[in-house]
């Protein structure tokens, strides 16, 4: 037993060490990205803010009951949103910010992170986790693509070797200052990380790229080429640490703080929404096959509390970090102890060992972040473009609308402001969802004069079915049957009834869900047909959710168990028998 515990401890320790080695550069890089708007003086502070975020989220989630090996750190989408929000604060036309009061800007920034964590925890508390999972994917795809593009572009200044922070939009105006040797180091680091699996499969690509790039950088420095390379991350310079409790000390401006509340609340809500969606998507990706699914609501509450604590200590927003989480499990971690080990090392790095970390070359870190940015381009968007090129015209229109949402959200996020982009994207996507749901559920329709059941018939019966089988209509349905689509189905059946159809068969086996209104409309359809002495039959699996919903609504009882069949062939056979029997009685 003791050996088993020792083995598990060793596995957790090794997994924690590997995962934290991946989390450190990611947390630092994303933190620096979030603080870009404050200028070069806050570069190292941003790196620390990323580390603080990873520590707070990891410890809080474990303390609040997470027993998995999931590793937490800043995420590209939320960091992108934070960077955009801070940029808006720094360049705001608001009267209270025109003097460039850093205290007030920092206080507003961390208030957004703090309130975003509160909103995220509330989402879980009121059990919105399951609902948030259904946020339209095109919205998140647009945000992720915008974040990936901006994350890549923001690294250009460091890759070019500039001695001070230059926004990527101004790079073309500083081409004379570009250092070719720095570009070469960045290119080699990028290629090495991209092709790391060719070099070794035992070390994560991020570490391979970071290690080889850093060695190359310092070899060049030692050989006298240091002036032709960009700087290292460096230690925090003599500017006041951007932490919220320091900003609170400047009470003279708190009266003006109320003017910023609308922006803070809207930004926090958008941040919470994006962070929640991202966390729920990542939870699916890091859950091993066959393992119990993560409780969405508990996950949001834990992360929300973690992000609140992170904001209090000057950290940014965190989420589930996929790469380190998978590496943690792949390298042997079995329990949440590995997450606490990672957090302890992060704490050590952010305090005692930060002078060592500060020697990481900016060009090398930026090159590795560029690889991550390219890898974060949403694969669903790429696949959507491919499917648009190869799909039939009937489906291409809806896919083009999805692509339009992706493009609009991405463009608005980069060009205008990410907060309205999030809300507008959701509104557009919901409108498209309603349009989709309001389309007809009929995937196929046919009459039984051409299509027959497999039952063997006499020549006379076969001739009768060829002649009168058109009185049997089969409608194969698919998707969700709710108010709009059920009303359209009712109209179709009403027209078929008026045209003299004697029997109508609904194949419900591909219907994924029927809401209460849809079930009621089916009941109305059955009653209307019965009044005209016409018959309705259903084909559906008896143990399905659809059958249970129709049974609860009393529709199965109203139609009669004899008119409900397991498959469409038996339903057609019954309808044919009824037609033959009725014709024999009439003659």
Over residues 455-464, the pLDDT tens digits come to 888 888 888 8
- Residue 260: pLDDT band by 50, 70, 90 thresholds? confident
Cα–Cα distance, 233 to 553 (Å, whole number): 66
- Residue 395: pLDDT band by 50, 70, 90 thresholds? low
Determine the number of helices (DSSP H) and then strands (DSSP E) in the chain. Answer: 26, 7
CA torsion sign for 51, 57, 60, 63 is negative
Helices (H), 391-440: 393-415, 418-437
pLDDT greater than 80 at residue 421: no
pLDDT greater than 90 at residue 247: no
The DSSP 8-state label assigned to residue 306 in this structure reads H
Average pLDDT over residues 210-239: 83
User: What phi and psi, each to the nearest 5 degrees, are found at residue 538?
Assistant: -125, 145
Cα–Cα distance, 379 to 376 (Å, whole number): 8
Over residues 44-98, the pLDDT tens digits come to 788 889 999 999 999 999 999 888 889 999 988 888 889 888 888 888 777 777 6
CA-atom Rg of the chain in angstroms: 31
pLDDT greater than 80 at residue 478: yes
> For the chain, what is the mean pLDDT?
82
Cα–Cα distance, 426 to 433 (Å, whole number): 10
159 and 334 Cβ atoms separated by less than 8 Å: no
Among left, alpha and beta (phi > 0; psi -120 to 50; other), residue 172 is: alpha
Q: Which residues contact 103 (CB under 8 A, 6 or more apart)?
A: 246, 247, 249, 250, 253
Q: Which of 109-113, 125-129, 427-431, 459-463 shows the lowest per-residue confidence on average (mean pLDDT)? A: 427-431
Cα–Cα distance, 347 to 312 (Å, whole number): 16
Neighbours of 322 (CB within 10 A): 17
pLDDT of residue 259: 77
Q: Give the SS3 label for residue 133.
A: coil
- pTM for this prediction: 0.69
Average pLDDT over residues 207-224: 92
Edge-to-edge, what's the strand order for the sheet holding 535-539?
Answer: 442-447, 472-481, 503-514, 535-539, 564-565
- Residue 207: pLDDT band by 50, 70, 90 thresholds? confident
The DSSP 8-state label assigned to residue 448 in this structure reads T
Cα–Cα distance, 479 to 508 (Å, whole number): 9
480 and 519 Cβ atoms separated by less than 8 Å: no
């Amino acid at each position: 037993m003791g050996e088993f515990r020792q083995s598990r401890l060793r596995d957790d320790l090794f997994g924690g060490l590997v995962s934290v080695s991946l989390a450190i550069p990611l947390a630092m890089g994303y933190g620096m990205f979030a603080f870009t708007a404050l200028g070069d003086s806050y570069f190292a502070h941003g790196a620390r803010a990323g580390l603080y975020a990873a520590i707070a989220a990891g410890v809080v989630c474990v303390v609040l009951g997470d027993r998995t090996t999931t590793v937490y750190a800043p995420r590209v989408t939320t960091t992108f949103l934070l960077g955009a929000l801070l940029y808006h604060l720094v360049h705001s036309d608001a009267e209270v910010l025109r003097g460039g009061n850093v205290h007030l800007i920092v206080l507003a920034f961390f208030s957004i992170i703090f309130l975003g964590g509160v909103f995220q925890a509330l989402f879980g508390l009121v059990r919105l986790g399951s609902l948030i999972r259904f946020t339209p994917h095109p919205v998140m795809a647009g945000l992720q693509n915008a974040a990936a593009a901006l994350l890549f572009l923001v690294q250009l200044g460091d890759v070019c070797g500039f001695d001070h922070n230059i926004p990527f939009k101004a790079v073309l105006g500083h081409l004379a200052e570009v250092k070719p040797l720095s570009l070469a180091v960045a290119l080699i680091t990028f290629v090495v990380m991209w092709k790391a699996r060719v070099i070794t499969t035992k070390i994560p690509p991020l570490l391979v790229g970071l290690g080889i790039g850093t060695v190359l950088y310092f070899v060049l420095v030692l050989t006298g080429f240091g002036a032709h390379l960009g700087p290292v991350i460096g230690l925090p310079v003599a500017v006041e640490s951007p932490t919220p409790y320091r900003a609170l000390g400047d009470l003279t401006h708190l009266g003006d703080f109320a003017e910023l509340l609308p922006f803070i609340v809207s930004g926090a809500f958008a941040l919470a929404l994006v962070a929640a969606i991202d966390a729920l998507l990542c939870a699916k990706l890091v859950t091993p096959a066959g393992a119990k699914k993560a409780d969405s609501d508990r996950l949001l509450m834990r992360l929300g509390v973690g992000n609140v604590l992170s904001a209090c200590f000057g950290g940014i927003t965190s989420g589930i970090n996929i790469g380190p989480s998978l590496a943690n499990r792949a390298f042997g971690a079995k329990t949440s102890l590995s997450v606490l080990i990672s957090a302890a090392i992060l704490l050590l790095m952010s305090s005692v060992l930060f002078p060592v970390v500060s020697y990481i070359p900016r060009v090398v870190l930026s090159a590795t972040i560029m690889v991550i940015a390219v890898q974060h381009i949403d694969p669903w968007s790429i696949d959507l473009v491919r499917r648009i090129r190869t799909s039939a015209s009937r489906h291409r229109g809806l896919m083009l609308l999805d692509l339009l949402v992706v493009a609009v959200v991405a463009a608005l996020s980069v060009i205008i402001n990410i907060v309205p982009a999030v809300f507008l994207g959701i509104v557009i996507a919901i409108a498209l969802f309603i349009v989709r749901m309001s389309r007809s559920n009929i995937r196929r329709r046919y009459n039984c004069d051409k299509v027959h059941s497999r039952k063997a018939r006499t020549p006379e019966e076969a001739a009768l079915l060829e002649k009168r089988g058109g009185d049997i209509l089969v409608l194969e349905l698919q998707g969700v049957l709710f108010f709009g689509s059920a009303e359209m189905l009712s109209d179709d059946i009403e027209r078929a009834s008026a045209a003299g159809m004697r029997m109508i068969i609904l194949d419900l086996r591909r219907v994924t869900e029927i809401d209460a209104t849809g079930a009621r409309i089916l009941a109305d359809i059955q009653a209307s047909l019965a009044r005209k002495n016409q018959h309705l039959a259903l084909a559906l699996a008896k143990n399905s959710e659809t059958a249970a919903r129709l049974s609860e609504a009393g529709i199965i009882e109203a139609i009669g168990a004899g008119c409900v069949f397991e498959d469409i062939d038996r339903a057609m056979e019954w309808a044919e028998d009824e037609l033959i029997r009725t014709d024999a009685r009439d003659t």
